[in-house]
Structure 1
Amino acid sequence: MASLLHAARMPEGGSRATAVWLVSGRRESDHTRAAYIRDVGWWVAWCLATGVDAGSPSTTAADVYMAELKASGLARATVGRRVAAVSSWYTYLVRKQCVAVNPFDGAERPRLDTSTSTTRGMSREQMSALLAHAAQHETARTHALLWLMFATAGRIGSVLAARVQDLDQDRGHQVIDLTVKGGTTKRFVVPPAALAAIHAYLAERGHPEDGLLFVTRTGRALGQPYAWKLVNRVSHAAGIAFKISPHSFRHSAITIALTDGRPLHVVQDFAGHADPRTTRRYDRARESLDRSPAYELAASVTLVPQHPAPIPHNVPSGGD
C-alpha cells in the first residue's frame, strides 16, 4: 500500500496517516483492514492510470471514477462500498491536514436496495440435506465447519479464526467465543448437534487443547478461498442446484430464525446487526398474508351487541 501511495504522489505525511487510519476505528480486524486496503487501492491505482494526483484530486475526478465503476458492471453495493471506503480515507486525511478536501464529500452514490439481501440462501430442507450429506460422506472437519457456520450464523472469517480454547460453558450452555465484525468478541450458543460434530472432529485430531479450531492436515490455517470451494462442492453433492457461498449459511440461519417467528430484536442480536433494518432484509416471509394482523385488529375493536338487533322492516316478524 505504501509503495502504491508513493507512486501516486501522496505526500509522506499522508502515507503515515493512512497507516494509522487502517488500524483505527472499525478497521481493527485483519479481514476488515484488508477490505479497506483493496477498496482504497482500486482508487489509487485508477489515479495512477489516469494521471490524477491522489494527494489533491478534484471532485470531477471522483465523479469520473464513480461513473466508470458503474459502467464496469459492478453491483451497486460494490460501487457504494468502494466509494465509501475512499471517502472515509480522505475524511481522515483532511482531519489530519494531509489533504485539503475530500473529493467524494457530497457525491451522489448509487442508491442501494436495502429491502432484500442479494445473498442466495438455503431453505430449511436444503440445509438439513446438506448437513446430513456432510455427516455421511464428508470429513469430520467439514461436517463440524458447516455446522458451526450455520449454528452461529457466523461470518466465515470469524469461524475460521476460532480457536479450540474459545469453546467453553456458560450457565449450562455450551458456547464459543468468536471475533466478530469490528474486532469485538461475541459469545454464541453451540447446540448439541453442532457440538457433537466439533467433538468428533477434535477427537480425530487427538483432542488438542489450544490453537486454531479448523486446520489443514499439516496444522495450517484454512483459507477463505478453500471454504468457498468447499461449500459449493458439498452443496452440489447434496443436490442443491444453485451456487452458494459461505455467507449463505449466515443468510440461511437468519432467514430460518425469522421464518420460525423469533422476535426481530432477538434475531438481530443473534446476527450482530447494529441496525434492525439489516435483519429485516433476511425476512423473506415479511409480506406473507398469514402474518397479517388484520384479523386480530378487527377482533380487538369489534363490539359485541348489547341489545338484539332491530328487525328490518321488510322481514316478517312472525306467523306464516
Structure 2
Amino acid sequence: MSSPVPRQGGALAVGGSAEEFTEAWLGNRRLSAHTRDAYRRDVAAWLAWCAARDLDPLRASFLDVNAYARGLEARPLAPASVARKLSGLSSWYDFLAKLRAVEANPVGGADRPPVSRDHSATVGLSPEEVDALLTAAEAGTGPAAARNLAVVALLADLGLRVGELVGLDVADLGVERGHRSVRFVGKGGRPRRRVLTPYAAAALDAYLAGRVDGPMFVTASGARVDRHSVFRLVRRLAREAGIEGWARLSPHSLRHAFATTARAEGVPLEDVQDAMGHADPRTTRRYDRDRHNLDRDPAYTIAAARVRRGAG
C-alpha cells in the first residue's frame, strides 16, 4: 500500500510509501533484527487491512483498531499475540503523532485483550525432557548433526531467544576472566553477554572445528540458519525423543525450561531475570512454573525461624 510519508510540522511528502516511513520508524529505535522483522509484518498487516476497507490509516480511529483486533482474535490468535501486534502498531502511531501526521494515537484508546503476567501459553519441558532432547541430538548422524547439537545445547543451557541464537556470529565467542562467553544483541537492542557451559562450549567447538568468522550457525550452502529451521529441529528431535506434545513445542519451550529449572534449583529470581534479559521481574516470574509449589511457601520459613528462636 502506498501512503504519504509524514515530515516534521505535519507536511506530507507526496509519492512516499508507507514502507519507507516504517523503515524510518524502525531506524529510530534500538531493536534486534528479529523484532524489526516482526514489527514490519505487523504494520504491513494493518495497512493491508485498511486498504481492503478503503480506510486511510492516518485517519483511523480507535473503533477501527478495535475491529482489527477482534478480527485477529477470531483467527484465532492468542491474547498475548494480539496484544503484541497492537503494541507495535501503537509505537508506529506514536511516531506519527510526534511528527504531527496524526492528531492522536488511535491504538491508545483501543480495547486491548487482557494478558496475564502470571501465565504463559508456551508449552514447557521438564528437566528430564530437556535431557531426552539433548540425547536425541547427540545420537544424530549426517553433516548437520554437530550443528544441531550445538543449537540445542545453547537453547537448553543458556535459555536464549531463537532470534538471539540465529543472529550469532563466530566472532561473538570469547573468553572473559576465565569464562568461555558469547556476546549478542538482546531484545530492545541491548548488548548482552552470557557464559558458555562446558557442555555448550564442547558442542560448539566440535561443530565449528576451528572456523573463526561468519555466521555461527549455517546451512549446507553457507547461509545463516533461520528461526524456522530451529523450530523444525526442536520438534523433530522432540518427536525422536518420544516427548509427548512434540508438535506444540518451540525453541521458546527450552527457554521456559531454563527459567523453571533455574528457580527450582534455587537460583535467585534476580539472577534468572538478568540471564534472560528481562526488564521486568514479573516477566521472569511467568516462566517460573514451580512458583506455586507449596513447598516454597514462605510460611514454612517463618515458622522455622520461630522454632529456632525457641518461641514455637
TM-score w.r.t. structure 1 length?
0.87
Describe the SS at the equivalent of 2:174: strand
Amino acid at match of 2:296: R
> What pairs with 1:101-180 in structure 2 (closer than 5 Å)?
101-138=104-141, 139-180=145-186
TM-score w.r.t. structure 2 length?
0.89
Measured in 2, the distance between the counterparts of 1:299 and 1:241 equals: 40
Describe the SS at the equivalent of 1:168: strand
Which residue number in structure 1 is paired with residue 233 of structure 2?
Answer: 230
Describe the SS at the equivalent of 1:187: strand
Tell me, yes or no, if structure 1 residue 282 matches structure 2 residue 279: no
Measured in 2, the distance between the counterparts of 1:94 and 1:14 equals: 17
Measured in 2, the distance between the counterparts of 1:37 and 1:141 equals: 30
| Larger Rg belongs to | 1
Tell me if structure 2 keeps the 8 A contact 1:21–1:92: yes
Which residue number in structure 2 is paired with residue 218 of structure 1?
Answer: 221
Tell me if structure 2 keeps the 8 A contact 1:23–1:33: no
Give CA deviations for 1:232-271 in whole Å, capped at 9, x if unaligned. 1111001112121111111111111111111000100011
**CA RMSD between the two structures:** 2.2
> What pairs with 1:1-320 in structure 2 (closer than 5 Å)?
4-6=1-3, 11-12=12-13, 15=18, 17-26=21-30, 28-138=31-141, 139-203=145-209, 207-242=210-245, 243=247, 244-301=249-306, 304=310
Q: Label 1:297 to 1:159 Cα distance change in 2 as closer, same or farther (>3 A).
A: same
Measured in 1, the distance between the counterparts of 2:4 and 2:48 equals: 9
Describe the SS at the equivalent of 2:3: helix
Task: Identify which range, 91-100 or 288-297, moves more after superposition.
Answer: 288-297
Which residue number in structure 2 is paired with residue 308 of structure 1?
Answer: none
**Which consecutive residues of structure 1, in runs of 5 or more, have no partner in the other structure?**
306-320
Measured in 2, the distance between the counterparts of 1:209 and 1:89 equals: 39
Describe the SS at the equivalent of 1:186: strand
State the shift of 1:11 in Å. Answer: 4.9
Tell me if structure 1 keeps the 8 A contact 2:4–2:12: no
Measured in 2, the distance between the counterparts of 1:141 and 1:17 equals: 39
Amino acid at match of 1:21: W
Measured in 1, the distance between the counterparts of 2:134 and 2:259 equals: 17
Q: Label 1:299 to 1:126 Cα distance change in 2 as closer, same or farther (>3 A).
A: closer
Task: Identify which range, 288-297 or 244-253, moves more after superposition.
Answer: 288-297
Measured in 2, the distance between the counterparts of 1:59 and 1:174 equals: 50
Describe the SS at the equivalent of 2:189: coil
Q: Label 1:294 to 1:45 Cα distance change in 2 as closer, same or farther (>3 A).
A: same
Amino acid at match of 1:276: P
Give CA deviations for 1:262-289 in whole Å, capped at 9, x if unaligned. 1000100011100000000111111111
Alignment: residue pair count:
298
Tell me if structure 2 keeps the 8 A contact 1:8–1:44: no
Measured in 2, the distance between the counterparts of 1:249 and 1:295 equals: 31
Which residue number in structure 2 is paired with residue 314 of structure 1?
Answer: none
Tell me if structure 1 keeps the 8 A contact 2:273–2:284: yes
State the shift of 1:18 in Å. Answer: 3.3
Measured in 1, the distance between the counterparts of 2:232 and 2:169 equals: 22
